[in-house]
Each structure stands twice: as C-alpha cells, then as structure tokens.
Amino acid sequence: MKKAPFKTLIILLLGTIILSCNSETPTPPTEEDVIAYLNNNHQQISLDLAANTNEFSVFDDHFEGKEMILLGENHATQYNEVIDTKLFQYLYRHHGVRVYLGETSIGMGYFINSYINSGFDGTLQYIMANYSGSFSETLHNRARLVRLKDFNLSLPENDRITYMGIDVEHQVTVGFRVFKMLIPKPSIDAPHPNDIADLIQEMYNTRYTSYLEVINAAPYFHEKLISSQFKDSFQAYFPEYERMVRILAGIVTKVELENDPLTFDTKREQHIAQNLAFVRSTFGNVKMYGKWGASHIWKRQLSDNYKTFVQEAIANATINTEQVTSIPIFYHNSYYADKDDDFNPRPIIFSVSPNMMNANKESPVVLFDLNEQGSPFKDFMMLVNGTTGSTTSYFDMAFRFSGSQASKPYAP
C-alpha cells in the first residue's frame, strides 16, 4: 500500500498537532497508526437520494444525546447538498432533530421556514433572488431547499421542521422586511401603546426596499427597542420582541463589519453565537442540525482571540461540549463554484489525498469514525488548534468527498 508522507497527512488531514507537549502528553500517533485506524473505522455513504439512509446508523452512538450537529463544508460543491439532505433526514427520523440551523440570516431564515412549511413557489423565487451573488445562488442549493420542503410537507403538521437562520443580516433589506412583518397590526381592542406609537409609525414609514434607509434606521430603532425608556413597552406589545431585536442587531453588525473588515471574522462569530443563544432560549433543548462553512466549526485559528461560533457558544455556556458534534468534510479531486468569478469551477485547495483516508478509495463519499477503541485521535484531536494545544471531544467523525463537481449557477 502506498502511504502518504506523514507531514502531509498531519498538515492536511488533521490540522496542526499539539505543540505544547510535556512529559504527561502521550506520544503523537505515527502515520501507520492513523492509516490503519481509518482503514478499519469508516462507512461508505451512497449519493443516491432514494437509497436507505440507515447507512448512518453505525454512527448512532456519536449522534445520541447531541443537541447540535454541524456539517462543515467548502461552499458550492455538489456532494454537499446531497449529503446534507440525507444526513438531515436520518437525524430527523432517528435522533429527534427538529430545527435546521442555517448559515443564513434570521431574515432569510424566516422566508425559508415559510417556504418549507407552505410550498409556495413565489417565496422560493424571492429567496433565490435575494441570494444573488452569494454561494447560495446555485441550482444545487435551490434543489436542496425544494427537497427540504418536500420532506417537511410529508411530515405530520404538528411535527414539522423549523428552519432558523443565525448569521448576520447579509441581506439587510430582507431582514428589515421581516422586522416590519413582525410588528403587530393595531386594532380597536389593541391599539399601539401611546408611548411607542410614534416610533412604530416611523418603522412603518421606513422602506425596507431602500438599502440606505434601512442601514440608517436600523441602529436608531435598535437603540430604542433596548432602551430603558421603551424596552418594557416594546416587550409587552411585540410578541416577537427578541427576534426583532436580533434582526436589527444583525443589520447593525453587518454594516459595522463592512466598515471594519479586519474585525469581520471575530465579530461575526460572536454575533452568530448570540443568535444561537436566542434559538436556545426560544426552543429550549431542541435538537438542531446545520450545514456550515468549515471555518465556522473548526478550521481557522486567526489569533488567540478568535473563536468559532461553536467555541463561543461553549465558552458562554449556551451549550456544552458533550452536546455538540461537528463533522468536517475533506475533499479530494473536487471543485467549487467561485461566486467572485461568474461561478466558474475552481479546485478546492484544502484537499485530501486518497491515501490519507485510504479506505474504500473507489467510493465518492466515506464517513470516518475518529473516536472508536484504539483511536489515535483521542489524545491528539488535531482539528482544533491554539497556543495552548487544545483538544476537543466534539469531532467524532469526518467525511471524505472525492470527485465532487462545482455547483451550477442558478438562472431564473
């Protein structure tokens, strides 16, 4: 068997090995240890959407008891959308997942949730139009949303999925449109309270279709909603007060990040973690699943102060380590659609040689178990790095995709 160089194996497959070794730190695994273990602990996953999803059942012990399961992808490559569909449906049926945690804003998530619960094609057209120019503007992402809708409408009405976006408000006009939709309509029996009636009228008068009006008004309305003067009145009158505050905060954060790109990554992750806390406070300990860019769940360590939103959420006690599973995807001979170059195919640079995950080389998709008996990863979990050599228990699995083609752009 031809073996990958150990240095390449460790750098590309596992990230950075723990540097702060001392006399109490176990000896790092050898190349032979890693390859032998992976050869014996994997499952081939079919790309056939009609195939039985029970192929995931060998990983049930890793899914059991988890309240947040995240798939870490490189955007705009075709296998992502198929595996997302299959894994989510399996987790719904067998592990009680009921919330799809989307890498999209609260505003866009509101419309996606409306679409998957109504099936109204006009809503899908609106969603895709507002994804223009983003990685989500692909035929394969649209097909994924249609499958999610079809699956959801096949379920009992009282046991359907809720789709929640928790990213910053990238599409600020969509976010403000939802904000206005959530304002209660006045009636004879329930008029707008006198102390906030003028503010509510200002909200109505702000055009959500005007980007400039929205970005100028959002900070003002956000300040008023959380101010000591008006907070109690807004909380009492707005049933969706917390969601509305988070939408405005997302618009404010989006504009701040555009003006200060050096802080974009850190502040964005912090904002996502705050939105996750909102979801947890709204739904309690509901089980959640989502497909996210890999950098949000494990990949980057930009500085000692940078944390992914998962790390932020754990640090803030929004969720604990034992309740989280993050599943990174490694790619071999695969391509993504570059949104900054007319969606032309580009090779995925952070790739994996088939020898690094040698099992079932002929299979396009393999899921590896990283945490079984004899695992070399238990003491050296190299998917999270830092100056202190942190290890984690929530990376139990990893996918290898081989031969995934770039997603095709969506053209209405």
Contact 105, 120 (CB under 8 A): no
Measured distance CA(381)–CA(315) in Å, rounded: 19
- pTM: predicted TM-score of the whole model, two decimal places: 0.90
**Per-residue pLDDT at 13 exceeds 90:** no
User: What values do phi and psi take at 346, rounded to 5?
Assistant: -135, 140
Tokens of residue 347, six digits = 């090779």
Of 277, 171, 263, 270, whose CA–CA distance to 218 is shortest?
Answer: 171
- The pLDDT value recorded for residue 188 is 83
* Least confident among 79-93, 242-256, 398-412: 398-412
Contact 339, 400 (CB under 8 A): no
Measured distance CA(282)–CA(199) in Å, rounded: 26
- The pLDDT value recorded for residue 111 is 98
Helix axes 241-259, 264-283, angle to 10 degrees: 170
**Per-residue pLDDT at 373 exceeds 90:** no
- The pLDDT value recorded for residue 15 is 42
Measured distance CA(405)–CA(313) in Å, rounded: 33
Query: Which DSSP helix (H) or strand (E) runs through 139?
Result: helix 139-153
Question: What is the residue type of 296?
Answer: H
Contact 370, 356 (CB under 8 A): no
For residue range 280-327, what is the model confidence (pLDDT) as tens digits? 999 999 999 999 998 888 754 444 567 889 989 998 999 998 899 999
Measured distance CA(400)–CA(6) in Å, rounded: 18
* Helical ranges in 162-302 per DSSP H: 172-181, 194-205, 211-226, 231-237, 241-259, 264-283
Mean pLDDT of 16-35: 56
**Per-residue pLDDT at 238 exceeds 60:** yes
Measured distance CA(71)–CA(114) in Å, rounded: 23
**Per-residue pLDDT at 9 exceeds 90:** no
